[in-house]
């Protein structure tokens, strides 16, 4: 076990923000954390995530096309590329995938939905969970997971939806993951959900290099700050850091069951 016993279930260590000190940082983090899951956002970053997972025992990869990058998909052969990577022993999920209606320049909603459903199908074929990104698309995401998707395990990363939506997701056994935003002063709504989620469906993350928790908000984020997310969550949920660390690391290994 690492110093904290925590798992960062979502960090982009392949990001260029880490180009200067990636190896130094990961060597340090290998003693701090039990593990890190590095999701991919397109073909290149998915490959990079696998490279990092091959180099570091405690790093695991997910592979997928993020909704912001869908314009770069040439044709449906992108799914063959993902399938080839999905069989790697350290690829533990398909992600991050989802819907992003925030950016005007993203693909139209129907295209985003189609690519999401295709990648969920792929996850089912390989019996992998999916890591879901939902930005300003709560209604459509909920509808997809209520009506169209059956038999897939999922985590809603950096959860930002309503408490009502969280209740619907929890009812179906989906996981909710919380990061730096849950520490922000104006995030009372996120903390209401954080307080509500059952122990066995709770995950922590950083989404590094973005969304840095308080008191480092505005600076570069890194997985070591999972500790700040967990401390804050312990306070919100009225429990201890140690209890939450043990519980959430157990949850990671149940959801991402290729991690031993």
- Chain contacts with Ni ion (rule: CB under 5 A): 207
Q: In whole angstroms, how close is the CB of 66 to Ni ion at the nearest point?
A: 7
Q: In whole angstroms, how close is the CB of 12 to Ni ion at the nearest point?
A: 6
Q: Which of 57, 46, 62 is nearest to 14 (CA)?
A: 46
Q: Which is nearer to Ni ion, 107 or 207 (CB)?
A: 207
Q: Which is nearer to Ni ion, 56 or 156 (CB)?
A: 156
Q: Which is nearer to Ni ion, 95 or 224 (CB)?
A: 95
d(CA 251, CA 224): 19
Q: In whole angstroms, how close is the CB of 8 to Ni ion at the nearest point?
A: 11
d(CA 196, CA 251): 16
Residue sitting closest to Ni ion (CB): 207
Q: Which of 248, 242, 238, 164 is nearest to 206 (CA)?
A: 248
Q: Which is nearer to Ni ion, 32 or 207 (CB)?
A: 207
SS3 state of residue 246: helix
Q: In whole angstroms, how close is the CB of 147 to Ni ion at the nearest point?
A: 25
Q: Which is nearer to Ni ion, 100 or 207 (CB)?
A: 207
Q: Which is nearer to Ni ion, 40 or 224 (CB)?
A: 40
Q: In whole angstroms, how close is the CB of 181 to Ni ion at the nearest point?
A: 12
d(CA 81, CA 36): 23
Q: In whole angstroms, how close is the CB of 39 to Ni ion at the nearest point?
A: 6
- Ramachandran class of 98: left when φ > 0, alpha when ψ lies in -120 to 50, beta otherwise: left
SS3 state of residue 161: coil
Antiparallel, parallel or unpaired: β 91-100 and 130-135: parallel
Percent of the chain as helix, strand, coil, to the nearest 5? 50, 15, 35
């Amino acid at each position: 076990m690492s110093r904290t016993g925590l798992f960062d279930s979502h960090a982009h260590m392949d990001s260029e923000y880490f180009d200067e000190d990636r190896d130094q940082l990961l060597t340090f983090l290998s003693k701090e954390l039990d593990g890190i899951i590095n999701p991919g956002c397109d073909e290149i970053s998915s490959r990079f995530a696998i490279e990092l997972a091959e180099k570091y025992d405690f790093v695991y990869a997910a592979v997928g096309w993020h909704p912001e990058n869908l314009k770069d998909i040439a044709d449906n052969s992108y799914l063959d590329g993902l399938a080839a990577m999905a069989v790697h022993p350290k690829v533990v999920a398909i992600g991050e995938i989802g819907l992003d209606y925030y950016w005007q320049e993203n693909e139209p909603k129907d295209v985003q939905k189609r690519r999401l459903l295709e990648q969920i199908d792929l996850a089912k074929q390989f019996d992998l969970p999916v890591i879901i990104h939902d930005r300003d698309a709560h209604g459509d995401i909920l509808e997809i997971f209520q009506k169209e998707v059956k038999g897939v395990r999922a985590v809603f990363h950096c959860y930002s939806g309503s408490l009502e939506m969280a209740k619907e997701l929890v009812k179906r056994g989906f996981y909710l993951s919380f990061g730096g935003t849950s520490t922000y002063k104006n995030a009372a709504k996120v903390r209401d959900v954080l307080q509500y989620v059952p122990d066995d469906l709770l995950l922590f993350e950083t989404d590094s290099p973005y969304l840095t928790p308080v008191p480092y908000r505005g600076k570069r984020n890194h997985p070591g700050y999972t500790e700040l997310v967990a401390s804050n969550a312990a306070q919100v949920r009225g429990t201890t850091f140690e209890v939450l660390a043990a519980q959430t690391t157990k949850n990671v290994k149940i959801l991402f069951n290729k991690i031993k």
